[in-house]
Amino acid sequence: MIKKIHHIAIAVRDVEKAAVFYEKILGLKLGGVEEVAGMDVKVGFIQIGETRIELVQPLDPASGVAKFIEKKGEGIHHICYEVEDTAAALRAFEERGAKLIDKTPRIGAHHTKVGFVHPKSTGGVLTEICESS
C-alpha cells in the first residue's frame, strides 16, 4: 500500500532563508513554493531523485507548525508516505489501531489528497500520507 517516502518535511521560520542551505551548500533547487489554503502554511519543495524535502513555514502564530517551532525550534516536522488512495489508507490505518488526525483526506500542497496520523500512535513521528503529485 505504501509506495515510497514522498517527502520529509522540515519546520522553518522562513522558506527562502532556509532554502539557502539546500541551494548554496547542497546544490539543490527550491521549487513549488506556495501558500496552502486552509493549512496556514507556506511550503517549498526541494526535489531529490524520487523524493523531496518540504520546507514548511507557519503563516499563523496559532498554527500547529508555529507551536512546533516555539516548543522544539526549527527541524524535522513530519514524514510523508505516498499511497495510491489516501482515503482507503486512512481507513486501513484506523482499523489497524492508529489514532488519526484526519479521518478523511484533506487537500494539501499542490492540491493532493493528504491525511495525518497522530504522533501518539507512530512513536512520536507526525506521519502524513498523500497521493502522487
List residues binding Co ion (CB under 5 A).
9, 54, 80, 128
Instruction: State whether the Cα torsion 56-57-60-65 is positive or negative.
Output: positive
**Closer residue to Co ion (CB): 51 or 121:** 51
Helix (H, G, I), strand (E, B) or coil at 45: strand
| Helices and strands, counts by H and E, the chain | 3, 8
Residue 82 or 128: which CB sits closer to Co ion?
128
Task: Considering the complex, state which of residue 12 and residue 95 has its C-beta at the smaller distance from Co ion.
Answer: 12
| CA 128 to chain centroid | 6
Closest distance to Co ion from the beta carbon of 128 (Å)? 5
Alpha-carbon Rg for the chain, nearest whole angstrom, is 14
- Please state the closest distance from residue 26 (CB atom) to Co ion, in A: 20
Q: How far is the CB of 114 from Co ion (least distance, A)?
A: 7
